[in-house]
Amino acid sequence: MMGKPNFSNEFIRDAVAQITERSFPVVEVLQRLSVSPHSLYAWKKQVARRASGDTSKDAKIR
């Protein structure tokens, strides 16, 4: 049985930066990094919360 993959905070920040700062197409990033659309958009939301100063438990990158 395969478990949930663990991605480092650095990997997550870089994945989000590829779509927000470097303007790569989302589909390209998803394919290149082999992550689900749900994960990428959840990470984007979490990174945005952290950037806005929200350090609540829900904003923590997992």
Let me know if 49 is exposed, middle or buried by CB neighbors in 10 A (0-12, 13-18, 19+): middle
Q: Would you say residue 30 lies in a domain?
A: yes
Q: Would you say residue 58 lies in a domain?
A: no
State the total domains in the chain.
1
CA-to-CA distance for 62 and 9, rounded, in angstroms?
Answer: 8
| Predicted confidence (pLDDT) at residue 25 exceeds the cutoff of 80 | yes
The model's pTM is: 0.77
Domain extent at residue 44? 25-52
Q: Would you say residue 40 lies in a domain?
A: yes
C-beta atoms surrounding 12 within 10 Å: 20
* Least confident span in 1-5, 24-28, 57-61: 57-61
Confidence of residue 51 (pLDDT cuts 50, 70, 90): confident
